[in-house]
Amino acid sequence: MTTSFFELLDKERKPRKQRFVDWFTGTDVADAWNEVDFNCTFSMNDSINGGFNLLTGTGNFDNGWLQMNGIRHYNPVGCKFISVVQVDDSVNSWTIVGFSRLTNDANKTDALFMQLDDAVLRWVLLTDIADVGTVTDTGIDVDTNPINLSAEIFPTRAEGSVNGVLLATHTTNLPIVAMQPIFWVGRRNAAGGAISSNIRYYEAWNT
């Protein structure tokens, strides 16, 4: 039985170190995740294959994220994630999926992300070290359809893909410390309504 996208893509099914898979099904998020709440509601999306929903409040910088309680077991020079995300709201907001050293405060020091860039309303690849980041635009517009976002870190470069197509590569400001999986949603402006995004699938491993 196929249990992950990795098994679909790798016929040899080579073992992967520290491999984690979550389909976000059932009545609650898996025990491996913990929720960090800065005025955000966490719940299963009550729709077919809806996944897990994060819904912010309406205040400026209301946000929340899923992480692995500070357990950082992903290698900054060799790891990859695959995800399926669905964004309900994109203006004045951020939706981020990937790896980060993030624990309980809103910073992204040492990170490998695919991120909704609300300035251009497109998906970008972001890496960060000591709060200094490099962003590469994928050219893919954000909409409300489910989208496959993945990224991989190598010793000298990072690569970001959308729907299985490599669209962004850069070599600067790569992370140097171990990271944990993260899904992060927030709003940037006090005006407007709550921000909603869903994660439907997440898989990660060390390469």
pLDDT in tens, 50-70: 899 999 999 989 999 999 988
Contact 134, 36 (CB under 8 A): no
Among 90, 146, 89, which residue's Cα sits nearest to residue 122?
90
Nearest to 38 by CA among 64, 7, 12, 17: 64
Q: Quickly state the pLDDT bin for 161 (edges 50, 70, 90).
A: very high
Angle, vertex CA 188, rays to CA 202 and CA 140, nearest 5: 50
The structural domains of the chain, ordered by start, are 17-206 (2.60.120.200)
Kind of pairing, strands 79-87 and 147-153?
A: antiparallel
pLDDT tens digits for range 127-142: 999 888 999 999 999 9
| pLDDT computed for residue 104 by the predictor | 56
Q: Which of 90, 42, 87, 83 is nearest to 182 (CA)?
A: 83
Alpha-carbon torsion (11, 74, 96, 39), positive or negative: positive
Sequence-distant (6+) residues with CB within 8 A of 8 are 2
Query: Tokens 């695919």 appear where?
Result: 114
For residue range 26-45, list pLDDT tens digits in order: 888 888 999 999 999 999 99
The rounded distance, in Å, linking the Cα atoms of 149 and 151 is 7
The model's pTM is 0.90
Neighbours of 54 (CB within 10 A): 26
